[in-house]
Every structure is written in structure tokens, then in C-alpha cells.
Amino acid sequence: MRSRIVRLAVPAVVGAVALAGCGSNKSSNSGSSGNGGKTVTIGLIAPLSGSLSALGAGMNNSVDLAVKQANANKTIKGWTIRYEPQDDQATPNVGAQVASKLASESNVGAVIGTLNSSVSQQVQPVLAQAKIVQISPANTNPPLSQGPNFAKGDKKRPFDSYFRTATTDSVQGPYGAQYLYTTAGKKTAATVDDQLAYGVGLVQQFGQEYTKLGGKILDHESVTGGQKDFSAVISKIKPKHPQAVYYGGQYPEASLLAKQMKAAGLNIPLMGGDGIQDPTYIKVAGAAATGDLATSVGAPTAQLATAKTFIADYKAAGYKEPYSTYGALSYDATNVAIAALAKALNGKDKIDDSVKQAIITAVQNTKVDGVTGSVSFDQFGDTTNKLLTVYKVEGGAWVPVKTGSFNGG
């Protein structure tokens, strides 16, 4: 009897895993002001719940703001924009599900998102098949736009409908490596990734440049999403005496890694990419975060002259959550989409395949001045704006220490 129960339990566990994937999907409509009878939907796919929801909320609010403004200004003649945010829970298969939902709707003009590169991997083919343009404000994993063999120089764009306003890890990783080796003077490092597309890619790109500069990578470890105990990994790294740890992944794990690392006497800075550059990182790691470094895409929003109106508008709209790392990039991505829709939908009655193709072409030819600087896309759909910023934790906040473009590599 006992073993039968255990046998029953295994499918039950599998069931629980599947169930955990389903959650609440809220969709809300914004922009009630009528602007002609026709409606076009702009979707968002981002983590609105779960441990990355702080970033997702900033994206959600920023897209919402852009849509509301466009509706108020009647930017798209004869059409009203309906905004439909979808929660991907930072989980690839959930992302694929909500992408399918958006793809099945008849009037979706563009989708903003995702946050996670791993989620985008699943979302891209679904949207591409429906010829829906996708603009990510946050994906930095190079293969998404340059194909799996990009590192060997064989760059091939997998999806014509995919664009991003965030620069890639083939810029971010090396930029971080240069800063860590040259500016911070850390000549040896250990790398840790979270086994997801973004983290693995970032660590790889970092490692290539770091070794090229003469740095030594003494150890490489992997952790899993949701992991809380890092003592075993830390004990393994510690006797190798690296001068820094480079982490490829997101802040929920990174903050705990930093905290436990320093509590275990491994007092070296942790550096990561845009995935860890979030206020929650400091809130969780506390004093242990001091001195930690992160690169992030674009220049710091608060310091951009071009971002003043955005920040003021965002504040005036009274959103509960801060615009966070990707707010400005999401706002730009949405405005790129809206501008393309305005061009492609002009004089049209419905969104058919030829209109969708026109939207894709219009996004490809985008050239606008956005909040984060000038926005345009290269032949892979990647932004031509390769500005990056290094942040350092000082006095309980991420302080920008260096902004620039990666050159060389």
C-alpha cells in the first residue's frame, strides 16, 4: 500500500509543477477616450507577479503611460489603442501561452516585451508566426537577434519581426569585463550563472573579454532559480581566492549570493549585468551589497536630459511602483510601436497580413529621438544605441560611476 501511495505521488508532483505554471492573468483596458471606431491592441508580456515583478511593474506602467498619451493625442488617426498586459511570471512556458493568446486575437498590432531572454526564446516564434512585431525593452541575450552561432561570426537574424531597445550582452558583458579588469583593477574572478539564456550568455561574453584583457577566471559555478542556499558554491569558490565574482542572472539569487558570500568571509565585490541592477538587490543584501557593481543598458534615466518629460509625466500619472530599470526603454519601445502603427494603419480598416508586414517595415526603419536617446535598429533588429552604464552600490543605492559605449571587441 505504501509504495502505491508513493507511486501516486509522483504524477501528483508533476501535476503540482504544471499547476504552479498557471496563475492569474489580468488584462486591463486603458485609454477609454474614443478616437474613431477602430481598435488596435498593444500587448505587453512581462513578469507582473513573482520575484521579478518589481521590474515588470515598471515596464507595465511605462507602456501604459505611452498608450494613454497616444490615445489622448490621437496619434493613430481613426484608431484607439487598447492596452493588454499579460503576466509571463518570468517563466518561458507561461510566456509562450500568453503569446499564443495575444497571437490569436485579431487586432494585435504590436507586443512589447519580454523582460527575460529565456522567455523571449519561447515568445519569438509564436509572435513571428502571427507576423506580430515584438519589441523588447530588456532582452540582452545576443542569439535572440543574431542567431545561435553569432559568437563564431555567423550572424543570422532568426525573426524579422523581433526588435529590441536594449543593447545586447555581446556589448554588456565585455563592457563589464573592461571595467572590472581595467578600472576596478580586479585581475582574477570567479563566474556564476543561473543556467538561463541571459545569465549563461552574459557570463560567456564577459569571460571572453576578461581573459583577452589578461584576467584569469579561477572558477565557474552554476546555480538554479529559486535557490536560497549558496553555502556550497561559496565554499567551493573561496579557497581559489578570486578578487571578484561575476554573476550572470537576476537579483533574487544575486542578492542572496552577495549576502551569504560576505557573511562567509568572502569579502570581494560581486558584479553583474542589468538583471541585478535593481533596488530590491540592495534591500535584500543590505550592507553586504556595498561595493557591488552592475552594468546596465542605456544611461541612467534620471540623468538623461531627454528623460525629464518622461519622469515628470510618470510621476504625474501617479503609478505606485517606480519606473525601474526598463521603464524608459519600455516607454521608447512602445512609442516606436505606436509610430509604426500610425504609419501602417493610416487609411486602413483592418489589420491583415499586408498591414502587419508594413508595421514590421516601419519599425525596422524607425529613427526617432526617445527618452533613452536616438532609437533606430540595425539589420538584426538590435538598437544602434550601445550606451551602457556601470553602477556601484554606495550608501544603500545604485550610484552610476561610468557611462560609455563599448569599443573594441
Partner 1 sequence: MSQLLQQLVNGLVLGATYGLIALGYTMVYGIIQLINFAHGEIYMLGAFGGLTMWKALPTGLQTKNYIALPLVLLAGIVTSTVVAVLMERWAYRPLRGAPRLAPLITAIGVSVFLQEAVRVFYPGAKGPLAFPALFTGKSITIGGVEVKYLSIFVVALAVALMIALQAFVRTSSTGRAMRATAQDPDTAALMGIDINRIIVITFALGGVLAGVAGVLTGMQYGAIDVHIGYIAGLKAFTAAVLGGIGNITGAMLGGFLIGIIEALGTQYLPQGSAYKDAYAFVVLILVLVFRPTGLLGESVAARA
Residues at the site binding partner 1, with contacts judged by CB under 8 A? 1-3, 5-6, 8-9, 12-13, 15-16, 19-20, 23-24, 49-54, 195, 221-224, 226-229, 231-233, 235-236, 239, 252, 255-256, 259-260, 263-265, 280, 283-286
Choice between 222 and 364, CB closer to partner 1: 222
Q: Give least dist CB 264 to partner 1, A.
A: 7
CA atoms within 13 A on the CB side of 54: 15
Q: Give least dist CB 323 to partner 1, A.
A: 16
- Orientation angle between helical segments 169-178 and 197-213, nearest 10 degrees: 40
Give the DSSP letter string of 364-408.
HT--EEETTEEE-B-TTS-BS--EEEEEEEETTEEEEEEEEE---
Choice between 163 and 198, CB closer to partner 1: 198
Residue 333: partners with Cβ closer than 8 Å, 6 or more residues away: 63, 112, 135, 136, 137, 163, 164, 165
Whether residue 141 contacts residue 382, with contact meaning beta carbons closer than 8 Å, is answered with: no
Q: Give least dist CB 381 to partner 1, A.
A: 31
Going by C-alpha positions, the residue among 260, 118, 240 that lies closest to residue 191 is: 240
Choice between 29 and 195, CB closer to partner 1: 195
Q: Give least dist CB 59 to partner 1, A.
A: 14
Q: Give least dist CB 240 to partner 1, A.
A: 11
Choice between 223 and 307, CB closer to partner 1: 223
Choice between 127 and 288, CB closer to partner 1: 288
The phi, psi pair for 165, rounded to 5°, reads: -95, -5
Amino acid at 176: G
Q: Give least dist CB 95 to partner 1, A.
A: 17
3-class DSSP assignment, residue 329 = helix
Q: Give least dist CB 62 to partner 1, A.
A: 18
User: How would you label 296-309 residue by residue, b for 16+ Cβ within 10 Å and e otherwise?
Assistant: bbbbbbeebebbee
Q: Give least dist CB 395 to partner 1, A.
A: 17
Whether residue 206 contacts residue 409, with contact meaning beta carbons closer than 8 Å, is answered with: no
Choice between 174 and 249, CB closer to partner 1: 249
Q: Give least dist CB 193 to partner 1, A.
A: 9
Choice between 54 and 340, CB closer to partner 1: 54
Q: Count of CB atoms within 10 A of residue 3's CB? A: 7
- Reported residue count of the chain is 409
Choice between 77 and 240, CB closer to partner 1: 240
Q: Is 112 buried (19+), middle (13-18) or exposed (0-12) by CB count in 10 A?
A: buried
Q: CA 119 to CA 161: how far, in whole Å?
A: 16
Per-residue cell: 220: 565557474
Choice between 76 and 266, CB closer to partner 1: 266
Per-residue cell: 25: 492573468
